[in-house]
Chain A
Amino acid sequence: MAVAAAPQQKPIAQGGYKTVCHVKRGPAGAVLEIGGFNLWYGASQALFEVCMAVEKGLVTALIGPSGCGKSTLLRSLNRMNDLIDGVRTGGLVKLDGEDIYDSRADVIALRKRMGMVFQKPNPFPMSIFENVVYPLRVDGVNDRATLQEACERALRGAALWEEAKDRLGESALGLSGGQQQRLCIARATAGEPDVLLMDEPCSALDPIATAKIEELMDELSGQYTVIIVTHNMQQAARVSDNTAFMYLGRLIEYGDTEEIFTTPSDPRTQDYITGRFG
């Protein structure tokens, strides 16, 4: 885990929401820069002026009470919200300096760089093997050996290999809920994306599998950038380098996890972390 660079005070959000925490800097700078980002579902606004910079190679946790817009923000990063009728966005999201909402941006290439694990497991109605190697298949990879290797690596990483190695040909829909979620994690990592977006990946998992996933995240950090939404404060504290706290569609506070959890600057953060609401 990268050690914090010189503490630097950086106003992240406008509109009266300021953070006093320090962001832990990665060795390679920011990979994603979000500036003044707004999002509307039809007439109702779900995100207000969100500003944050996600550090490359670090794990960033998004926390906040239910309905505050964590999933919405996450889905904005790989333009998944494009699929929903009536969604409008405003503001900037830059991946390695390029605006992903630019009209010339290649959405498919963007999504290939951003693996995503959804809040609910969504395996495809195919075999386990085909599920895992799906990102490679859509890239036109058909070499059996390459696929098998990628499949095993991804399944091991998602702590599913031991359970699934003898039934790779069976339908993925026959797996249990937790296994399905780990399968989705394997699928998201099989394509070796740059950024991994995880929306409550462990909500359906038992403690052992959760520990394995956390271990995976630990391994991944360094080579991948991970953004994880979680309701589990301990998990956020354990796995993440930086933490962003959201409330009612606004980013309230963003900074080094340790600082957020020990000395939050906003009373709402304090209340949420100590369990007074949410």
Chain B
Amino acid sequence: MPDSAISKTSAMAPARAPDAVRSRSTSLRARGEPFVWLLGGALAFGVMMIVGFLLLVLWNGIAAFFPKPLAEVRLTDGSKLAGEPTRRERYPVTPEQLGKLASAPRAAILAADGVSGRTLYRIGNYDIYNEDFRWVSDFEVTTVAYPAQLMFVERREWGPLVGSAVAMKLGNEAERPMAAFSAAAVTAAHREALARWERIRHLERGEIGRINHYLEQGRLRVRRAELRHGTASAEAQTARAAAEEQARELQKSYDAFSGEARDLRQRDATHLITFAEIGGKTKTLPLSGVVRMYAANDLHLMDKLAVYVSRWWEFLSDEPREANTEGGVLPAIFGTFAMTLLLVLVVAPFGVVTALYLREYARQGRLVSIVRISVNNLAGVPSIVYGVFGLGFFAYILGGTIDQVFFSERLPSPTFGTGGLLWSSLTLALLTVPVVIVATEEALAAVPRSMREGSLACGASKWQTIRNIVLPRAMPGIMTGIILAMARGAGEVAPLMLVGVVKLAPELPIDGFFPYIHLERSFMHLGFHIFDVGFQSRNSEAGKPMVFVTTVLLVALVAAMNASAIIIRSRLKRKFQGSQF
């Protein structure tokens, strides 16, 4: 405000402000503008960090499966290597390295403050080189080329192979050089080999696995009869006879299946392909041992996309191999999803009922206040503590008792007496139930009293009022609590490592055998998968892309589950929006 205005004011009212001239303009501090800027800036910073992190993960995850070119590098010492350039960095060159260099490159490095660039190549061929990755400093390189015949071969064992295909042998034919086969013939042979391999796996894992399952069931029936009636009892005798009869039956089909599998394996062993790595060493492997092969420098965009899509498909629909650093994560997706679903099924009714009692029925006194404060504080207990509790109480005490009562014939191997899907869900339910209770209590408290009174005045009982008016009206708030609980539960890993998550779970918790849903089984989890692949595997560099892809997947899974819950909630909310002002 201009000075004249102030002086005019004071001149008009000299009696009110005799000595000090009061400023009538609002100071910046009074208006609080700097604080608003500060807070806004902090918000922007926070949001930027989160968005930046998500973008980083997303970009790395999306790019991970895109086929990279293969470089052939000739080094100053005359040797050659071939591999995917993975990343570059600058590093200080050690004095010994400098000492061995010729004068020209040494001068160049010294001019650059002793720092040189280097590239990490994924050279593959772990079985030949004993390493998967190799750093190559810039001053070691003479030439870099991208020859068209270099192939990137993903194998079932030993990780990728980099080299060129030299020969192939199909069945009883003699081995012929690669040039004798058309590209279509190679693809067809490969496809046939993969189909054969699938069939073998189906026979050995599926059919023979089923026979083993029935045999085990028979054995358990005998054991149960023995435990219940004594070893020499008539019941045990008949059970034994029945089991033997069944075993004879099963043996017949077992012979058939294993015979077919043996034949297929023999056939498979005659379909071979030979590769030569860059140094000239050759490696022969069965054609079915090749998951995917492509000439990386000879791909058109469509071919690259095909490789990309097929890798994603494998990732989403297959089991892991090579200590989880390759293959897919289907069991982990399934495990995460099943565990979260089970968690919600447990936590929602339990939390809502607890909150209903606390808010609507319990007499609001000191005891209820203490309970409420305790519940709120439970949310702050470190999650690993819940893991320890879950293992001790659920798995050992509860599960151990269940085993003794219902599954005594399987002892000493535990059924429920060890970590599993059910105990994991219950542990996480315990961990997240405070969130649901607090949110539900708040939602219940926010239901206007006039609505309850309206219902009661109509002659509804307290329960009818809660059922018909209070709960529907509080539903969006309750959903918020469930969403928060779900998000927290789906991302929690630490307690799960104690109560049921494993590195590799061969059996899904759902299969074709009664009772179809096996809640006692241990399972895989995307969060643990990230930890395991990234930090626990032999080859953390190879697992890096998997870490990003799995993170993207986990974030996407949690986001998808949250989004569906949020959609349900907004549907509910719309129902309660009035147009009255």
Residues of A within 8 A of B (CB): 78, 80, 83, 85, 108-109, 111-112, 114-116, 118, 120, 122-126, 134-135, 137-139, 171, 173-177, 180, 184, 187-188, 191
Q: How far apart are the CA atoms of A16 and B441 in the complex, in Å?
A: 49
B469 interfacial contact with A, CB 8 Å: yes
Q: How far apart are the CA atoms of A126 and B578 in the complex, in Å?
A: 11
B455 A134 Cβ-Cβ under 8 A: yes
Of the candidates A80, A118, A134, A180, the one whose C-beta lies within 8 Å of that of B580 is: A180
A138 B464 Cβ-Cβ under 8 A: yes
Near A by CB (< 8 A), chain B positions 452-480 give 452-461, 464, 468-469, 472-473
B450 A80 Cβ-Cβ under 8 A: no
Of the candidates A80, A122, A138, A180, the one whose C-beta lies within 8 Å of that of B448 is: A122
A115 B579 Cβ-Cβ under 8 A: no
A125 B458 Cβ-Cβ under 8 A: no
A191 B458 Cβ-Cβ under 8 A: yes
A-chain residues with CB within 8 Å of residue B451 when the two chains form the complex: 122, 124-125
B366 interfacial contact with A, CB 8 Å: no
CB distance from B479 to the nearest CB of A (A): 15
Decide yes or no: A124 and B469 within 8 Å by CB, A173-B577, A174-B578 being known contacts: yes
Type the 1/0 row for B362-382, where 1 means its CB is closer than 8 Å to any CB of A: 001000000000000000000
Near A by CB (< 8 A), chain B positions 565-579 give 575-579
Type the 1/0 row for B332-362, where 1 means its CB is closer than 8 Å to any CB of A: 0000000000000000000000000000000
Q: How far apart are the CA atoms of A191 and B460 in the complex, in Å?
A: 11
A83 B459 Cβ-Cβ under 8 A: no
Decide yes or no: A138 and B576 within 8 Å by CB, A83-B449, A122-B448, A124-B454 being known contacts: no
B449 A177 Cβ-Cβ under 8 A: no
A-chain residues with CB within 8 Å of residue B448 when the two chains form the complex: 122
B-chain residues with CB within 8 Å of residue A187 when the two chains form the complex: 454, 458
Type the 1/0 row for B411-436, where 1 means its CB is closer than 8 Å to any CB of A: 00000000000000000000000000
B-chain residues with CB within 8 Å of residue A188 when the two chains form the complex: 457-458
With an 8 Å Cβ cutoff, the count of chain B residues facing the other chain is 26
Q: How far apart are the CA atoms of A49 and B454 in the complex, in Å?
A: 28
A138 B575 Cβ-Cβ under 8 A: no
B457 A125 Cβ-Cβ under 8 A: no
Q: Which one of B453, B459, B580 has the highest number of Cβ atoms from chain A below 10 Å of its Cβ? A: B459
B-chain residues with CB within 8 Å of residue A120 when the two chains form the complex: 450
B578 A173 Cβ-Cβ under 8 A: yes
Of the candidates A80, A115, A125, A175, the one whose C-beta lies within 8 Å of that of B456 is: A80
Q: How far apart are the CA atoms of A85 and B365 in the complex, in Å?
A: 12
Type the 1/0 row for B537-581, where 1 means its CB is closer than 8 Å to any CB of A: 000000000000000000000000000000000000001111110
Near A by CB (< 8 A), chain B positions 112-167 give none
The 10 closest A-B pairs by CB, nearest first: A173-B578, A112-B459, A122-B450, A116-B457, A122-B454, A138-B460, A135-B458, A125-B576, A111-B459, A174-B579
Q: How far apart are the CA atoms of A191 and B452 in the complex, in Å?
A: 17
B-chain residues with CB within 8 Å of residue A138 when the two chains form the complex: 455, 458-461, 464, 468
A78 B457 Cβ-Cβ under 8 A: yes
B576 A83 Cβ-Cβ under 8 A: no
B-chain residues with CB within 8 Å of residue A177 when the two chains form the complex: 580
Q: How far apart are the CA atoms of A78 and B453 in the complex, in Å?
A: 11
A184 B459 Cβ-Cβ under 8 A: no
B-chain residues with CB within 8 Å of residue A108 when the two chains form the complex: 459-461
**Minimum CB distance partner of B467 in chain A:** A138
Chain B facing A: main interface SS: helix
**Minimum CB distance partner of A78 in chain B:** B457
A134 B458 Cβ-Cβ under 8 A: yes
6 sample A-B contacts, Cβ–Cβ < 8 Å, listed by A number: A83-B449, A108-B459, A120-B450, A125-B472, A138-B468, A171-B578
B-chain residues with CB within 8 Å of residue A126 when the two chains form the complex: 472
Type the 1/0 row for B193-236, where 1 means its CB is closer than 8 Å to any CB of A: 00000000000000000000000000000000000000000000
B-chain residues with CB within 8 Å of residue A85 when the two chains form the complex: 364
Other than the given A80-B453, A111-B457, 12 more pairs (CB < 8 A) read: A111-B456, A116-B457, A118-B450, A122-B453, A122-B454, A124-B455, A134-B460, A135-B458, A139-B459, A173-B576, A173-B578, A188-B457
Q: How far apart are the CA atoms of A116 and B578 in the complex, in Å?
A: 22
A-chain residues with CB within 8 Å of residue B364 when the two chains form the complex: 85
Q: How far apart are the CA atoms of A188 and B453 in the complex, in Å?
A: 12
Q: How far apart are the CA atoms of A78 and B578 in the complex, in Å?
A: 29
Q: How far apart are the CA atoms of A135 and B473 in the complex, in Å?
A: 18
**Minimum CB distance partner of B458 in chain A:** A135
**Minimum CB distance partner of B447 in chain A:** A125
Q: How far apart are the CA atoms of A122 and B148 in the complex, in Å?
A: 78
B-chain residues with CB within 8 Å of residue A139 when the two chains form the complex: 459
CB distance from B468 to the nearest CB of A (A): 8
A-chain residues with CB within 8 Å of residue B458 when the two chains form the complex: 111-112, 115, 134-135, 138, 187-188, 191
Near A by CB (< 8 A), chain B positions 89-114 give none
CB distance from B63 to the nearest CB of A (A): 49
B580 A173 Cβ-Cβ under 8 A: yes
**Minimum CB distance partner of A131 in chain B:** B454
B-chain residues with CB within 8 Å of residue A114 when the two chains form the complex: 457
A-chain residues with CB within 8 Å of residue B580 when the two chains form the complex: 173, 175-177, 180
A-chain residues with CB within 8 Å of residue B464 when the two chains form the complex: 138
Q: How far apart are the CA atoms of A139 and B576 in the complex, in Å?
A: 25
Q: How far apart are the CA atoms of A80 and B454 in the complex, in Å?
A: 10
CB distance from A29 to the nearest CB of B (A): 25
Decide yes or no: A184 and B579 within 8 Å by CB, A111-B459, A125-B473, A139-B459 being known contacts: no
CB distance from A41 to the nearest CB of B (A): 15
B-chain residues with CB within 8 Å of residue A137 when the two chains form the complex: 468
B-chain residues with CB within 8 Å of residue A124 when the two chains form the complex: 451, 454-455, 468-469
B457 A80 Cβ-Cβ under 8 A: yes
Q: How far apart are the CA atoms of A111 and B456 in the complex, in Å?
A: 7
Q: How far apart are the CA atoms of A139 and B468 in the complex, in Å?
A: 13
B453 A83 Cβ-Cβ under 8 A: yes
CB distance from B356 to the nearest CB of A (A): 17
CB distance from A37 to the nearest CB of B (A): 20
Q: How far apart are the CA atoms of A138 and B463 in the complex, in Å?
A: 11
**Minimum CB distance partner of A171 in chain B:** B575
CB distance from A108 to the nearest CB of B (A): 6
A-chain residues with CB within 8 Å of residue B455 when the two chains form the complex: 124, 134, 138
Q: How far apart are the CA atoms of A175 and B458 in the complex, in Å?
A: 20
CB distance from B398 to the nearest CB of A (A): 41
Near A by CB (< 8 A), chain B positions 43-69 give none
CB distance from A144 to the nearest CB of B (A): 18
A191 B459 Cβ-Cβ under 8 A: yes
B-chain residues with CB within 8 Å of residue A135 when the two chains form the complex: 458-459
B575 A125 Cβ-Cβ under 8 A: yes
